[in-house]
Amino acid sequence: MDAARDPAAPPDGRLPVAVVCGLHGDARRAAVRRLLATVPGSVALHHDLSTAALGSVLRTVRDAAGVRDTGRAPLVSDCACCALREDLVPELLRLADDGLTRLAIVELWDSVEPKAMAEVIAAHNGDRLLLASVLTAVDPSLTLPCLGNGDDLADVGLAAAATDQRTVADTWARQLEYAPVLALVAGEDGSYGDEEDRALLAQLHPTARQIRVADGGALAEAAFGWGTGFDVEAAAARQHPACALLPQSADESGVVTYVWHRERPCHPGRLYEALEDLCCAAARSRGRFWLADRPDTLLAWDAAGGALCVESYGPWLAALPEAAWESVPPVRRAAVALDWHPEHGDRCQHLVFTSPGLDTDGVCRLLDSCLLTDDEYAAGPEAWERLAPAFDNLLEI
């Protein structure tokens, strides 16, 4: 590796750790190989969760020359992902203690999401480890097919536990949107997808740095985190529906991002009836919304592959007594200030839809039809709360 581009190791001697994830297995492995070849003294650690049926997870440690060590970690509570959590940090500490490893690369198994693993590693950011970066490896031409794949992970052999109910689409969306760096790998034809693929990727995660794996120096700098390290709290805040930095409106190469922002609650029954059409309208949609019958509850919307997940994220800030605001993270208070309404506070509708060929007018008309009518709105909050609930089954109440 060229000395001028050789990223500096932490001055306190901690071992930098780079997490590389992604459902695009070939792209992920290519990114790891490039890092091993570019950074002298780098070591990759991988846990193969596909061996869980045998009662354990296969651990492999390798460097640029090949496999250095293998071992097995027993399942924890019949959960392969739990075994990964239990085994990961001791292995990283062992690498830190050998004094020979310059960069530890944690190559996550296909469906493992980076957030949980990043937080496990960051919890041990002490005198021996430093979580330096999180990268998602991407083949741009596979972005849309993965977002459109509503298959359960269990049905395609990628479930991390017997209770894993995630789909290919929602798992890929979270992998893509969590990492601040996307490591791009060319497809079989040598291209980085077509114009539509690249526009979709840019609109799904507009703030991400895109680095081509072929540029080993730039990839290595990203893996070392440019010397700043990885902030798991900031990363979590970027995905929290109350303060997420959601994409803005865009229209490029046939890919459209539409932002629906309103300051009136939705009628629970009409919105529920529209869910199927809304979920199928876009490859990806997410954000926060406000139901008239749940005036104090911030609800998160997360849809990909034609499937929707609705979750309660606690109260809107306006529903809390002012004394409780001090316990709210500053990033959320800052986000609230941008949406504050003199009557409703931070209660609002903020949903973002991204897809090739998106019918923005149709999505807008359908969503607007779900808002309270003028007469319903004028009836006031007490009448709103008496509306028949429609989301109880989605919220598992």
C-alpha of 120 from chain center: 16
Burial of residue 156 (CB within 10 Å: 0-12, 13-18, 19+) is: middle
Angle in degrees, 0-180, between the axes of helices 168-178 and 195-204, rounded to the nearest 10: 70
Sheet containing strand 15-21, strands side by side: 66-74, 56-63, 42-48, 103-107, 15-21, 129-138, 181-184, 209-212
The candidate with the shortest Cα–Cα distance to 264, out of 378, 361, 385, 391, is 378
For the chain, which residues make up each domain, given as ranges? Answer: 3-239, 250-384
| DSSP assignment string, 115-174 | HHHHHHHHTTTTTTEEEEEEEEEE-GGGHHHHHT---BGGGGT--SBTT---BHHHHHHH
Q: What is the residue-level pLDDT of the chain in tens, covering all 397 positions?
A: 443 334 556 667 899 999 999 999 999 999 999 999 999 999 999 999 988 878 888 999 999 999 999 999 888 877 778 888 889 999 999 999 998 999 999 999 999 999 999 999 999 988 799 999 999 999 999 999 999 999 999 999 998 877 888 999 999 999 999 999 999 999 888 899 999 999 999 999 999 999 999 999 999 999 999 878 899 998 988 888 888 778 899 999 999 999 999 999 999 999 999 999 999 999 999 999 999 999 999 999 999 999 999 999 999 999 999 888 888 888 888 888 877 899 999 999 999 999 999 999 999 999 999 999 999 999 999 999 999 999 998 887 4
Q: What is the dihedral sign for C-alpha 380, 385, 386, 392?
A: positive
What pLDDT shows up at residue 6?
Answer: 46
User: What's domain 3-239's superfamily in CATH?
Assistant: P-loop containing nucleotide triphosphate hydrolases (3.40.50.300)
Q: Which of 254, 260, 298 is nearest to 278 (CA)?
A: 260
Element (H, E) at 274: helix 268-281
Element (H, E) at 259: strand 255-262
Cite the beta strand spans of 269-333 per DSSP E: 284-289, 297-304, 307-315
Three-state SS across 159-201?
CCECCCCCEHHHHHHHHHHHCCEEEECCCCCCCCCCHHHHHHH
Q: Return the closest-CA partner of residue 107 out of 239, 223, 236.
A: 223
pLDDT score, position 38: 97
Q: Which CATH class is domain 250-384?
A: alpha beta
Q: What is the pTM of this model?
A: 0.92
Q: Which two tokens stand for residue 301?
A: 């919307």
What pLDDT, on the 0 to 100 scale, is given for residue 10? 63
- Whether 3-239 and 250-384 share one fold: the answer is no
Pairwise CA distance, residues 120 & 88, whole Å? 9
Angle between helices 168-178 and 232-239 (to 10 degrees): 130
